[in-house]
Structure 1
Amino acid sequence: MIALTLAEIATAVNGRLIVGDDGSGPDTVIDGESQTDSREIGPGQIFFARRGEETDGHRYADRAVDAGAALLVVERDVDRRAPQILVSDSTVALGALATEVVRRVRDAGGLTIVGITGSNGKTTTKNLVAAMAERTGPTVASAKSFNNEVGGPLTMLRVAPDTRTLVAEMGASAEGEIARLTAMAPPHIGVVLTVGLAHAGEFGGIETTFRTKSEMVRDLPEDAIAVLNRDDPRVSQMADLTRARVLWFGLSDGADVRATDVDASATGTSFTIHADGASLPVRFRVLGEHHVMNALAAAAVGRALGIPLADIVATLESATLAAPGRMEVLGGRDGITVINDAYNASPDSMSAALRTLAQIRKPEGRSVAVLGAMSELGEYSIEEHRRVGLQAVRLGISELVVVGDEARQLHISAINEGSWDGESTFFSEQDEAFAYLTETLRAGDTVLVKSSNAAGLQGLGDRLGEAYA
Structure 2
Amino acid sequence: MIPMTLDEIAAITGGSVAGDGTTIVSGPVEYDSRAPMPGGLFVAFEGEKVDGHGYAAKAIAAGAAAVLGTRDTGQPGVVVKDQLDALGKLAHALVQRLPQLTVVGLTGSSGKTTTKDYIGQLLARLGDTVAPPGSPNNELGFPCTVLKATADTRYLVLEMGARGIGHIAYLAGIAAPRIALVLNIGAAHIGEFGSMQGTAQAKGELVESLPAEGVAVLNADDPLVAGMAPRTSARVVTFGEDPNATVRAEHVTLDSRGRPAFTLVTSSGNAPVRLAVAGRHQVSNTLAAAAVALEAGLPVVELAAALGDLGIRSERRMDVVERSDGVTLIDDSYNANPSSTAAALRALAAMGRQGRTIAVLGYMAELGDQEVSGHAEVGRLAAELGVDRLIAVAGAAAVLDGAADVPEWTGSAIAAADQAAAIAAVTGDLRPGDVVLVKGSRYRTWEVADALRVATGEVSP
The TM-score, its normalising length taken from structure 2, stands at 0.95
Offset at 1:267?
5.3
Gaps of 5+ in 2: none
Q: Which of 40, 49, 56 matches 2:51?
A: 56
The AA in structure 1 aligned to 2:448 is L
Alignment partner of 1:414 is 2:403: yes
- Alpha carbons 2:133, 2:313 under 8 Å: kept: no
The AA in structure 2 aligned to 1:244 is A
The AA in structure 2 aligned to 1:464 is L
Decide whether aligned partners of structure 1 residues 278 and 43 sit closer, same or farther in structure 2, where only a CA change above 3 A counts: closer
Partner of 2:392: 402
Partner of 2:88: 95
Q: Which of 260, 278, 284 matches 2:269?
A: 278
Q: Which of 171, 175, 180 matches 2:170?
A: 180
Give CA-to-partner distance per residue, 1:147-188, whole Å, 9 cap, x none: 111111111111111211111111122221111111111111
Partner of 2:443: 455
For the residues of structure 2 that align with 1:174 and 1:460, how far apart are their CA atoms? Answer: 32
For the residues of structure 2 that align with 1:294 and 1:234, how far apart are their CA atoms? Answer: 17
Q: Which of 221, 235, 238 matches 1:248?
A: 238
For the residues of structure 2 that align with 1:329 and 1:462, how far apart are their CA atoms? Answer: 13
- Alpha carbons 1:34, 1:48 under 8 Å: kept: yes
Partner of 1:350: 341
Offset at 1:416?
4.9
Partner of 1:13: 13
For the residues of structure 2 that align with 1:28 and 1:47, how far apart are their CA atoms? Answer: 14
Decide whether aligned partners of structure 1 residues 421 and 143 sit closer, same or farther in structure 2, where only a CA change above 3 A counts: closer
Decide whether aligned partners of structure 1 residues 368 and 43 sit closer, same or farther in structure 2, where only a CA change above 3 A counts: same
Give CA-to-partner distance per residue, 1:166-225, whole Å, 9 cap, x none: 111111222211111111111110000011111222333322211110011012111000
Partner of 1:340: 331
For the residues of structure 2 that align with 1:296 and 1:94, how far apart are their CA atoms? Answer: 33
Counterparts of 1:49-448 in structure 2 under 5 Å? 49-78=44-73, 80=74, 82-106=75-99, 110-265=100-255, 266=257, 268-321=259-312, 323-363=314-354, 365-404=355-394, 406-448=395-437
Partner of 1:22: none
The AA in structure 1 aligned to 2:28 is E
Offset at 1:436?
2.4
For the residues of structure 2 that align with 1:414 and 1:89, how far apart are their CA atoms? Answer: 49
Offset at 1:98?
0.6
Offset at 1:343?
1.3
The AA in structure 1 aligned to 2:84 is T
The AA in structure 1 aligned to 2:77 is Q
Offset at 1:443?
2.9
**SS of residue paired to 1:65:** helix
| Percent of aligned pairs sharing the same letter | 43
For the residues of structure 2 that align with 1:420 and 1:99, how far apart are their CA atoms? Answer: 54
For the residues of structure 2 that align with 1:436 and 1:191, how far apart are their CA atoms? Answer: 41
- Alpha carbons 1:251, 1:260 under 8 Å: kept: yes
- Alpha carbons 1:142, 1:169 under 8 Å: kept: no
- Alpha carbons 2:13, 2:86 under 8 Å: kept: yes
Offset at 1:417?
4.0
For the residues of structure 2 that align with 1:31 and 1:412, how far apart are their CA atoms? Answer: 56
**SS of residue paired to 1:281:** strand
Alignment partner of 1:36 is 2:24: no
For the residues of structure 2 that align with 1:56 and 1:200, how far apart are their CA atoms? Answer: 33
Offset at 1:85?
1.3
For the residues of structure 1 that align with 2:356 and 2:274, how far apart are their CA atoms? Answer: 26
Give CA-to-partner distance per residue, 1:294-349, whole Å, 9 cap, x none: 10000000110011011211221112336321111114344321111111111101
**SS of residue paired to 1:294:** helix
Offset at 1:383?
0.9
- Alpha carbons 1:362, 1:446 under 8 Å: kept: no
- Alpha carbons 1:15, 1:87 under 8 Å: kept: yes
For the residues of structure 2 that align with 1:14 and 1:316, how far apart are their CA atoms? Answer: 45
For the residues of structure 2 that align with 1:427 and 1:185, how far apart are their CA atoms? Answer: 44
Decide whether aligned partners of structure 1 residues 114 and 312 sit closer, same or farther in structure 2, where only a CA change above 3 A counts: same
- Alpha carbons 2:268, 2:300 under 8 Å: kept: no
